[in-house]
Structures are given as structure tokens and as C-alpha cells.
Amino acid sequence: MEDGDDIRIDLPISLKEAVLGGKVKVPTPTGSVQMTLKPNANTGTVLRLKGKGLPKRNGDNGDLFVTLKIVLAQEPDAELTEFVSQWQPADSFDPRSNLAA
């Protein structure tokens, strides 16, 4: 999606990439670039690739804003299902605790 000289895209990432971090390929108007994800990335996190947007009249480029979207495999993974069913986070994290009742 264009936003002036800036571009905004949703980038699907795997659960493994979200948890462990790593390098991912991001499409830009001039070709793909590598972007580094920090470990523990969340869906909705917006990262900026400076100068990777559309050309401006002054010769510079706008920015590319990348919104991370964690995507699970189409087919259920038996090992992942087993792990998550047994997993008990030490802090009993509730991702909805800040929502109004």
C-alpha cells in the first residue's frame, strides 16, 4: 500500500522466525533485501527500511514500512501441537490482560 512516497507491506513470517529471530527476505520496488528480525518478534510489529520506498522528486526515496504477521503452516505440526499442549509459561502470560472487560 502506498502512503505518499512511503510503502507499507505485511510480511508473513514463520513461528520459528518470530521466536528465534533471523534474516528474512523483503520485497522492495528495486528488488529483495535482507532484514534482520530480533528474537521474540510479534505480529503487528512495524519495522522501517529507510530509503526503500518510492522515488521522491528530490531524488531521495521514501521508506518501506514492514508489518510482521506470524503465519502457521497450513497442515498442523504434531510436534508443535504436543509441545504447546504441554507448555506452561513460567509467568502465565495473558496477551489479553490489557483489554477492557
The pLDDT tens digits of the residues spanning 52-83 come to: 998 888 878 899 999 999 999 999 999 999 98
SS3 57: coil
Q: Are 41 and 17 a contacting pair, CB within 8 Å? A: yes
pLDDT at 101 over 70: no
> Domain residue spans in the chain?
2-86
d(CA 56, CA 66): 19
Q: Looking at the predicted structure, is the pLDDT value of residue 87 above 70?
A: yes
Residue pLDDT, tens place only, 29-46:
989 999 999 999 999 999
Instruction: Using alpha carbons only, give the angle 96, 13, 63 rounded to the nearest 5 degrees.
Output: 95
Provide the greatest CA pair distance for the chain.
57
Superfamily classification of domain 2-86: Urease metallochaperone UreE, N-terminal domain (2.60.260.20)
pLDDT score at 11: 97
Task: Indicate whether 13 pLDDT > 90.
Answer: yes
Q: How far apart are CA 13 and CA 18, in angstroms?
A: 7
